[in-house]
Structure 1
Amino acid sequence: MSRIIAVANQKGGVGKTTTAINLSACLAEKNKKVLTLDMDPQGNTTSGLGVDKNQAENTVYELILDESELSECIYPSVMEDLSVIPSNINLSGAEIELIGFENKEYLLKSKLDMIRSDYDYIIIDCPPSLNLLTINAMAAADSVIVPIQCEYYALEGLSQLIHTIDLIKERLNPKLEIEGVVFTMYDARTNLSLQVVENVKENLDKNIYKTIIPRNVRLAEAPSYGMPINMYDSRSAGAEAYRYLAEEVIEKEDENEWL
């Protein structure tokens, strides 16, 4: 069964792109066929998977504006079984250009519906804002993974994100669910990280992954080499954590029926 998962949080710096890159790579490592779609104009997921965002002629921008065929927008990544639909700064202007488009919330969904059966997983990295690009991603997705940084203001803005997901479920995509919340940048040396985890668990009535992603230097270094963590340093704590997260995501297939 094919699954489309959006990775979203309107707060920047919470490990959203890191999670999109490394969850995709660890799913591919487990012999799943994965397509990663970069909906963030910064294009960090694109470059983090070894695709030159400045050289990519056909990106998600051309795709949703119907200027390129879908097959032209899919690029091989540095890993077998993992492909990328890239993004670059051009995407930042898409929201204005889409004014007046009919069914503009479903532009991405209409494209992905054509190829979703070709992949086990389609992972969408959303921009760090609740804009039309994020709405397109959630309208196309089966579920949303929400990364939360283990810091004092972790819950700030989360209620707004959950409200947005609920609105999209109500008005655009009735099957949309919160796949789960994943804690990132956990520092075992501080009491704060532990307190944040406990606080979120107490206040959030949502699925929370058992896997907690540690604060890890190797995780931070990997994107600058155009590699996911399981290629850059396969034995690092970050690589092991994302492998565990991939296992948890796969296990959900046994618990749920997906279209």
Structure 2
Amino acid sequence: MANIITITNQKGGVGKTTTCVNLAASLAATHKRVLMIDLDPQGNATMGSGIDKHQLACSVYELLTDQAGVADAIMTDTRCGYHLIGANGDLTAAEVELLQLPRREFRLKMALQPILDEYDYILIDNPPSLNLLTVNALSASAGVIIPMQCEYYALEGISALVGTINKINQRLNPALRIEGILRTMFDPRMSLTKDVSSHLIEYFGDRVYRTVIPRNVRLAEAPSHGLPALQYDKNSRGAQAYLALAGELIRRTERQQAAAAATEQETD
């Protein structure tokens, strides 16, 4: 059964798409079966995977609006090691159309049901806003990874996002949890970075990933080549950081699965 994880933050420019693309590639490099879903009308995760968003025969838009099944929307021939459901500007129309459809908050969850056993991880990239697309992602997911920079305004933003996640948990998806907080564009030389990082660990404890993503030129360059950093320059600090993050995520997943299995045995 796939572990579905939404990567989101209502604040833009914090590394959501970079994290989604590079974590997907890193998980695939460890021989995990990975599907990445681009749920942002900008289609940056699609382009960053080497797929021309303007040439999509079938995108997440068709999937959400019942014009295609999930098998038709999945691209398996990417050069990044993971499968992809792409997005482009058509997705903007989906926000309006979804308002008229039944179970509008659960369209993505329902669409993914047939392929849950085919993947170990499904990662969802989101727009930098809380709209019906993001609600669909949160309703379909078990966990949320929140990428954030260690700066003052990020602390305010994460408080609002945690509130949103709690509301989704209470009203739409009781299984939803914060999988982890990821510190991105990390510069340990800055005192503010260290201060904010300490506040995060104090508040969120072990939900803050030990892995930090540094500022790295190779990470910034890779999308223009349509590649994750791992394929662009596997020895770069950015690529190695996302490999470490993948390892940390896998270990957490295994612990959670073991705990769930133990609880089930006790119940039986």
TM-score range, shorter chain: over 0.9
Looking at structure 2, the residues matched to 2 and 93 of structure 1 have their Cα atoms a distance apart, in angstroms, of 28
Whether 1:140 aligns to 2:140 is yes
Whether 1:207 aligns to 2:207 is yes
Looking at structure 1, the residues matched to 131 and 212 of structure 2 have their Cα atoms a distance apart, in angstroms, of 28
Pairs within 5 Å for 1:145-184: 145-184=145-184
Other-structure match for 1:54: 54
What amino acid is aligned across from residue 68 of structure 1 in structure 2? A
Whether 1:218 aligns to 2:225 is no
Cα offset for 1:65?
0.4
Looking at structure 2, the residues matched to 19 and 204 of structure 1 have their Cα atoms a distance apart, in angstroms, of 20
Does the aligned pair in 2 maintain the 1:36–1:124 contact within 8 Å? Answer: yes
Other-structure match for 2:73: 73
Q: Identity over the aligned pairs, expressed in percent? A: 50
Does the aligned pair in 1 maintain the 2:43–2:53 contact within 8 Å? Answer: yes
Unpaired runs of at least 5, structure 1: none
Whether 1:40 aligns to 2:37 is no
Cα offset for 1:205?
5.6
Looking at structure 1, the residues matched to 223 and 250 of structure 2 have their Cα atoms a distance apart, in angstroms, of 24
Does the aligned pair in 2 maintain the 1:38–1:87 contact within 8 Å? Answer: yes
Looking at structure 2, the residues matched to 135 and 172 of structure 1 have their Cα atoms a distance apart, in angstroms, of 9
Looking at structure 1, the residues matched to 9 and 198 of structure 2 have their Cα atoms a distance apart, in angstroms, of 20
Looking at structure 1, the residues matched to 48 and 109 of structure 2 have their Cα atoms a distance apart, in angstroms, of 24
Determine which structure has the larger helix proportion and give its number: 2
Unpaired runs of at least 5, structure 2: 262-268
Other-structure match for 2:265: none
Q: Write the deviation string for residues 155-181 of structure 1: whole angstroms up to 9, x where unpaired.
A: 122111111111111111111110010
What amino acid is aligned across from residue 78 of structure 1 in structure 2? R
Other-structure match for 2:20: 20
- What is the TM-score with the length of structure 1 in the denominator? 0.96
Other-structure match for 1:241: 241
What amino acid is aligned across from residue 92 of structure 2 in structure 1? S
Cα offset for 1:100?
2.1
Does the aligned pair in 1 maintain the 2:200–2:208 contact within 8 Å? Answer: no
Looking at structure 1, the residues matched to 25 and 254 of structure 2 have their Cα atoms a distance apart, in angstroms, of 21
Looking at structure 2, the residues matched to 138 and 243 of structure 1 have their Cα atoms a distance apart, in angstroms, of 25
Does the aligned pair in 2 maintain the 1:179–1:207 contact within 8 Å? Answer: yes
Other-structure match for 1:87: 87
Name the SS for the 1:51 alignment partner.
coil
Looking at structure 1, the residues matched to 78 and 179 of structure 2 have their Cα atoms a distance apart, in angstroms, of 25
Cα offset for 1:107?
0.4
Does the aligned pair in 2 maintain the 1:178–1:206 contact within 8 Å? Answer: no
Is the deviation greater in 210-219 or in 157-166?
157-166
Looking at structure 2, the residues matched to 27 and 91 of structure 1 have their Cα atoms a distance apart, in angstroms, of 27
Cα offset for 1:252?
1.1
Cα offset for 1:43?
0.5
Other-structure match for 2:187: 187
Looking at structure 2, the residues matched to 29 and 206 of structure 1 have their Cα atoms a distance apart, in angstroms, of 25
Aligned Cα root-mean-square deviation (Å): 1.4
State the number of aligned residues. Answer: 258
- What is the TM-score with the length of structure 2 in the denominator? 0.93
Looking at structure 2, the residues matched to 140 and 155 of structure 1 have their Cα atoms a distance apart, in angstroms, of 26
Cα offset for 1:103?
0.5
Cα offset for 1:79?
2.3
Name the SS for the 1:61 alignment partner.
helix
Looking at structure 2, the residues matched to 218 and 110 of structure 1 have their Cα atoms a distance apart, in angstroms, of 37
Looking at structure 2, the residues matched to 249 and 42 of structure 1 have their Cα atoms a distance apart, in angstroms, of 27
Looking at structure 2, the residues matched to 141 and 163 of structure 1 have their Cα atoms a distance apart, in angstroms, of 17
What amino acid is aligned across from residue 73 of structure 2 in structure 1? C
Name the SS for the 1:156 alignment partner.
helix
Does the aligned pair in 2 maintain the 1:181–1:206 contact within 8 Å? Answer: no
